[in-house]
Amino acid sequence: MTETILVINAGSSSIKFQLFLVAAQNEVRRALRGQIEGIGVRPRLIAKNTEGEAPIEEEWPVSEVATVPQALDKLVAFLRERLGTLPVAIGHRVVHGGPDYSDPTVIDDGVIERLEKFTPLAPLHQPNNLAPIRAVRARQQQLLQVACFDTAFHRNHPEIADRYALPEQFYAEGVRRYGFHGLSYEYIAGRLPEIAPDIARGRVIVAHLGSGASMCALSAGKSVESTLGFTALDGLPMGTRPGQLDPGIMLYLMSEKRMSAKEIERLLYHESGLKGLSGISNDVRDLLASPDPRAKLALDHFVYRISLFAGMLAGAMGGIDGMVFTAGIGENASAIREAVAKRLAWLGLDLDLKANADGEARISREGSRVACYVIPTDEELMIARHTLSVLQAQRANAA
């Protein structure tokens, strides 16, 4: 029977999953993707395979799927019924690896304990990433689980880029610029030689634009700078997060507005960004469709900040040869790409309006000094590949 690897990306009320077949050439091939959504509210599973068959749907009473562990039990039962066996390994996206982890890591109780310490640095993500890991440990402790970190791809930044201008003790304790969305950037770096060989070894800015958004400077395929830092609050404005702020604002909110740490956390993670600016929605699709001037303000601000950070990243590399848009907004919102490209014309980006509107891979004109591409990302595939590598290394060591 063909072995499989399960990839899990868990949220507070959903579990997104993909199942990969382990191919004969030590590669993985996607077989199934889906999610269990509405956990604790209206739980249901939706999945579809790669053969184009009708989606599979199941629903359960709330009492049966009120928690993430219960949802995981349903997922395991679904896979066992469909495959007749369990995966040989599970790969998990874990947002923050802190200073301890720079490679895919086999999960044990000690690893979980250390990863819990980074929860204050990623309160939206870390607890949800760890919940299914604990559930699997409790039920199938022998099953190999591998943590793949969003911070890992950026861990080889030069120290000058990693540092904040704070006393040494804070850096030693782990207060440094980590960067995030690393699995996405790693995938794009791997795809560039195939899709855009003209810029793959050059200086490339990748804009990962989704509900969470950031940008990365790639030099010869390696991350040298990122817009995100210690936490996922830095850099670009996002769906509900504000992006870069003057730290004095935090002091003002505490001293003058008498806001508690929890109140500030809620403001910064849930009420700001595109949602806060527009007062309408955190979804770019809603804002693009809205005639409300506040929607336009939010989108204009988003584009403006992208263009500002593009200049910063170009400065980090001493110039720019190419730009890549990826993730939900970057891949699908041609209007946002066009607006950004217009602001970056000074860098030498000459957009092909038709290619951009048609969603082609290359959206810059022939002769543009900066080549521009749209490349769909695939973080789950990166997790599956990393998990397979760890599994193979374990087997080789045991042989």
Q: Which residues are catalytic?
A: 150
Q: What is the 3-state secondary structure (H, E, C) of 174-227?
A: CCCCCCCCHHHHHHHHHHHHHHCCCCCCCEEEEEEECCCEEEEEEECCEEEEEC
Report CA-CA distances (Å) from 391 to 6, 9, 240, 320, 387: 13, 19, 37, 38, 6
Nearest to 60 by CA among 35, 40, 80: 40
Tell me how far the alpha carbon of residue 219 is from its chain's centroid: 20
363, 372 contact by CB (below 8 A): yes
CB atoms within 10 A of CB 27: 12
Quick one: tokens of 37?
């959504």
Please give the single-letter amino acid code of residue 290: S
132, 72 contact by CB (below 8 A): yes
Calpha distance 332→16 (Å, rounded): 20
Calpha distance 194→187 (Å, rounded): 12
